[in-house]
Amino acid sequence: MPEGLSRLAERFAAGETVLGGWLHLPGGVSAEVMGHAGYDALTVDLQHGLIGEGGLVATLEAIAATPAVPLVRVPWLHPPDLMRALDAGAAGVICPMIDTPGQARALVQACRYPPRGGRSFGPTRARLVYGDDYGVRADLDTLVFAMIETGEALGNLEAILDTPGLSGVFVGPGDLSLSLTGRATLDFRGGEPAGAVARIAQETLRRGLIPGIFTPGAELARAAMDLGYRFVTPGSDLALLAGAARAVLGELRGQQPTPAPPTSY
Ligand code: 3PY
Ligand code: MG
């Protein structure tokens, strides 16, 4: 599927909103289920998910059997992890806890080849999946998202967004609310997080970059889209499975299903 690398970048460039799935469950079948369900992109979450680095390639292979574009959230800003995810065939990366312009520059540096950055050349599986010209196309099409999820990142938002080579930002509402209010919740609609989440979308769109966000389901995904978010994740595989199980049991037992907690990943 040699055109695969540019598929998502082209959709963003055309102004489309992309619906992303989020993978926490190991084993590959869940990735296939999510991909065939119709998500535009699937992010393998190596930070909080249960898929270890050893399971990454098998999960990317499972995604490749579906129409979804594969992305990876790396565990932290650690250049070897970023380069390995891209070499393994991720079409883009999402990097947690980018709080300063220096960290944003280090992120881009790890993901772009010279002269734009310092990514080392060796696209082992990426070349198999995307074609022999991967090396010359990678910098144009690889998506690089910096996660904005602390008060410090908010204070540095403009400078982070002005980092050359960044595709966009991705809001982690759980960490952001924890940092701003001392309590983690994925529901960003109240108090200080609400203003912050709206401002991040505005500033990102103003620069022609892509604002992305994690949400636990359709209601908050819709609220994010109404704020201008163009890369929205309505739930992880784990949370969707838990929600469906609660709903079916609630129906059969004649009870209201237990609502998912607002921290539900
Ligand atoms: C957060 O909410 O902090 C996240 O990182 C979501 O993935
Ligand atoms: Mg987070």
Q: Whose CA is nearest to atom 5 of ligand 1?
A: 172
Ligand 1 pocket: which residues have CB below 6 Å? 149, 172-175, 186, 214
**Is the torsion defined by CA of 6, 12, 222, 48 positive or negative?**
positive
Whether 70 is covered by a domain: the verdict is yes
Q: How much distance in Å is there from the Cα of 135 to the middle of ligand 1? A: 31
Has residue 66 been placed in a domain? yes
CA 188 / ligand 2 centre spacing (Å) = 13
Q: Which residues are catalytic?
A: 48
Which residues form the domain of 102?
Answer: 4-252
Nearest ligand 1 atom to the CA of 96 is 5
> Is the entire prediction scored with pTM above 0.95?
yes
What's residue 3's pLDDT?
58
* Alpha carbon of 176 to ligand 1 centroid (Å): 8
Can you tell me the distance from the alpha carbon of 235 to that of 131, in angstroms, rounded to the nearest whole number?
32
Tell me the HSE value of 73 on the side-chain side, using a 13 A CA sphere. 30
Domain assignment of residue 263, yes or no: no
Residue nearest to atom 4 of ligand 1 (CA): 172
pLDDT of amino acid 2 = 40
User: Does the residue 261 lie in any domain?
Assistant: no
What is the tally of structural domains in the chain?
A: 1
Residue 105 lies inside a defined structural domain of this protein: yes
Residue 55, domain member (yes or no): yes
Q: What is the mean pLDDT of each run of 10 residues along the chain (265 residues)?
A: 76 96 96 97 98 95 97 98 98 98 98 97 97 94 98 98 98 98 96 98 98 96 98 95 93 83 71
Distances from the Cα of 110 to the Cαs of 43, 74, 92, 98, 187, in angstroms?
A: 19, 12, 12, 14, 32
Answer yes or no: is 258 within a domain.
no
Is 260 part of any domain?
no
pLDDT score for 258? 73
Ligand nearest to the CA of 184: 1
Phi and psi, residue 248, nearest 5°: -70, -40
CATH of the domain at 111: 3.20.20.60
What is the C-alpha to C-alpha distance for residues 126 and 147, in angstroms, rounded to an integer?
A: 24
Best residue among 71, 74, 149, 185 to mutate for probing ligand 1's pocket (most ligand atoms within 8 Å of CB) is: 149
- Residue 212 to residue 146: CA distance in whole angstroms: 10
Q: What pLDDT, on a 0 to 100 scale, did the predictor assign at position 259?
A: 72
